[in-house]
Structures are given as structure tokens and as C-alpha cells.
Amino acid sequence: MKIKNVTTVAVLALASAVSGCSNMDMGNASAKTEATGSAGGANSQGANSKLEHCDAPLGTIAVVEDTTQPWYGQLTNQYHLGATTPVLKLLIQQSNCFVVVDRGRAMKNMMQERQLNQSGELRSNSNFGKGQMVSADYSLTPSITFSNNNAGGVGAAVGGLLGPVGAVVGGGVRSKEASTLLTLDDNRSSVQLAAAEGSAKNWDFAGMGGMFGSLGAVGGGYSNTAEGKVIVAAFMDSLNGVIKAVRNYRAQNVAGGLGTGGNLAVQGSQQAAPSLAPGAAAMTPAQAQARLNQLGYPVGNPDGVWGKKSIEQLKLFQKNHGLPATGKLDDATISALQQG
């Protein structure tokens, strides 16, 4: 008799599961994040209307996620969410502001195919020779700077305002919020080009469904929204910030050139002349300063520190010799200095 009952329960469970499958609502809007739709090349379908868009890509980009950071452990362990890179790559491609190149786990598969090719295992027409990968001009690095599943209930405040109604509402109003940060770096120079913080917040009205009737359906939608949806929305906000920043990008220039010592005049620092061409290494900054002094362009002690005075005097020398007044020791300038 017990066996018959167990069998009946199993059949009913199976029937319930099959019934659930038959009612599967594929593409249900409530199950989507802010990163909706798809992308194929420069074309996209169903992209979020709030996502910024570019008429033409600004370069190639790789999304680099630092899995050693504490926020990543919280993302995967506490919220049981996966990597942020897939959704970011979708958003980037939909924006058409950059061409995405993969430098993540898929790269292992790419290299595996090349290893198979080198071992002779692939067919001769597989076309997996060297020199085909596209370089990444830029790197985008995501991080979650703050995430909170219950950022302080407002039940107490509502209770104070609504009197006895507060007893029903108390503890039923919570918020899920996230703050994210994206940094954009130039891979050739390692210079940070842009950074943008983004945020999103979603209220959970789970405890109010019984009070407000039809509002319960909306409240249920909010209460079933995962923390991941808020994080995705925050990342889209960050990406919009990055796109707006680079759309109006203006390069930062340091007198004397980037990475040549700076202009804060730290004692003992040596600042090399900027933009030395391969053939220009024959004249050091100190030698150039000494030569400028000899030619009547006083720069002071030839100490090799390429500061404001050296730049100004070199520009004057260049101007007097019909050269572009850049203040940089290029080949043409060094040749003119040597000839006098």
C-alpha cells in the first residue's frame, strides 16, 4: 500500500513538473536585466534605450576583471553571481563605441586551437596561422565599490507617518542598491583615459502586497528582483559615464612629455627630454642644455632636468631655425643644435 502511495506522489510530481515546463514564458520581461537584447557586429536588437550609443567605434577593448579583489568574492560567494564580463561585453557591443576583443577564459580555447594547429592535428585548411589576432587598444576594468541587499528598512519611518498602518508595513520595505566603478586604460601607454562611477537602487515592497491589492503584483516583481539586476543597472550607468567622458575626451598634456619626470621638481630627480627619436639618443638632455647655453639660449646649469626654462629656450631656438616649436629634442632639432 505504501509503495502505491509513493508511486502516486511521484507521478503527481512529474505531472506538475511537465505542467510547469508547458507554461514556460521564454523572454519574460520581468526576468531580464537592464542589459536586454542582443548584438551582432555593429547591429543590435532590443538594446536598452538608456544605453549610450556611438556612430562609430573608438577602438578595440578588452574587459579585464580582477578576480582577486574582495568585491569579486562577495559577488560570487554572498550573492552567488557569476563574472561581470559577459554583461559588460554585451553592453559595450550594443553601444557600438568599442569593438570587443576577448582576453578572458575564451582565450584559452583560442590558444588551444593554435596549439592543435602547431601539433599538426588540425586540417591543413584550418587557417590558424599566426598574426591574425586583433590587439586590444584599451582595457576596461570593473569593480563593485558598494553593494547592499538591505540598505536600511524604512518601516520605522513609515510607521511614524501612518500610525497603525506602520505595524503592517514595518520591515516590509527594503532596498537593494549597488555602486560600481569602471576604469578605461590605454594599453600602449598604460595611461588611464576615463573612470566613471555608476549606481542603481531598487525598492522591495514585498510586505505591502496584502494591503494594496493590485499593487501586490508590482511589489512581487520587485521582491523577486535579484541583486544581480541592480548590479547590472549600476554597470550600465557606469558605462554610460565612460562613453560620455571619452566622447568629449581631451588628452592630458604635461610640459616636457608624459613619464619624463614630471614638473614638480623633486630634488634629485632626473627628467629626460621628451619624445627622443631613435637617432636622437646621441645627445642627452644635459648636452642639449650645454649646447643651448653656447648658442646664446641660456637655460642655466646643464643638469639634465628638462624643465620649463629648457623647453622655452629650445622652442625659441627651433623657431629661429625654421623648425616646429615643440620644445622636444627630435632628430631635426639635434641636427640643428650640432650645426649651430
**Average pLDDT of the residues in 60-70:** 94
The count of other CB atoms within 10 Å of the CB of residue 173 is 19
pLDDT-derived band at 32 (thresholds 50, 70, 90) equals confident
Pairing of strands 192-204, 174-186: antiparallel
Q: Rounded distance, CA 59 to CA 35, Å? A: 22
CB–CB of 137/188 below 8 Å? yes
Highest mean pLDDT out of 48-62, 221-235, 263-277? 48-62
pLDDT-derived band at 158 (thresholds 50, 70, 90) equals very low
Residues of the chain with CATH 3.40.50: 32-101+136-247
The lowest-confidence range among 137-151, 238-252, 304-318 is 137-151
Compute the residue count for the chain.
340
**What is the CATH architecture assignment of 278-339?**
Orthogonal Bundle (1.10)
Q: Rounded distance, CA 156 to CA 176, Å? A: 18
pLDDT > 70? residue 122: yes
Q: What is the pLDDT of residue 269?
A: 55
pLDDT-derived band at 74 (thresholds 50, 70, 90) equals confident
Report residue 126 as a C-alpha cell. Answer: 584550418
Residues of the chain with CATH 1.10.101: 278-339
pLDDT-derived band at 10 (thresholds 50, 70, 90) equals low
**Average pLDDT of the residues in 37-57:** 94
261 conformational bin, left if phi > 0, alpha if psi -120 to 50, beta if neither: left
Q: What is the pTM of this model?
A: 0.63
Higher-confidence position of 155 and 115? 115
Phi/psi for 183 (5° steps) reads: -120, 140
Contacts of 103 (CB under 8 A, 6+ apart): 62, 63, 64, 136
User: What letter would DSSP give residue 60?
Assistant: E
pLDDT > 80? residue 164: no
SS3 content of the chain, % helix, strand, coil (to 5): 45, 15, 45
Give the burial class of 331: count Cβ atoms within 10 A of its Cβ; 0-12 exposed, 13-18 middle, 19 or more buried.
middle
Q: Which residues are registered as beta bridge partners of 177? A: 148, 201
pLDDT-derived band at 113 (thresholds 50, 70, 90) equals very high
Closest CA relative to residue 326, chosen from 237, 246, 253, 232: 253
CB–CB of 159/167 below 8 Å? yes
User: What letter would DSSP give residue 135?
Assistant: P
**What is the CATH architecture assignment of 32-101+136-247?**
3-Layer(aba) Sandwich (3.40)
Helix (H) or strand (E) holding 80: none
The lowest-confidence range among 64-68, 95-99, 103-107, 321-325 is 103-107
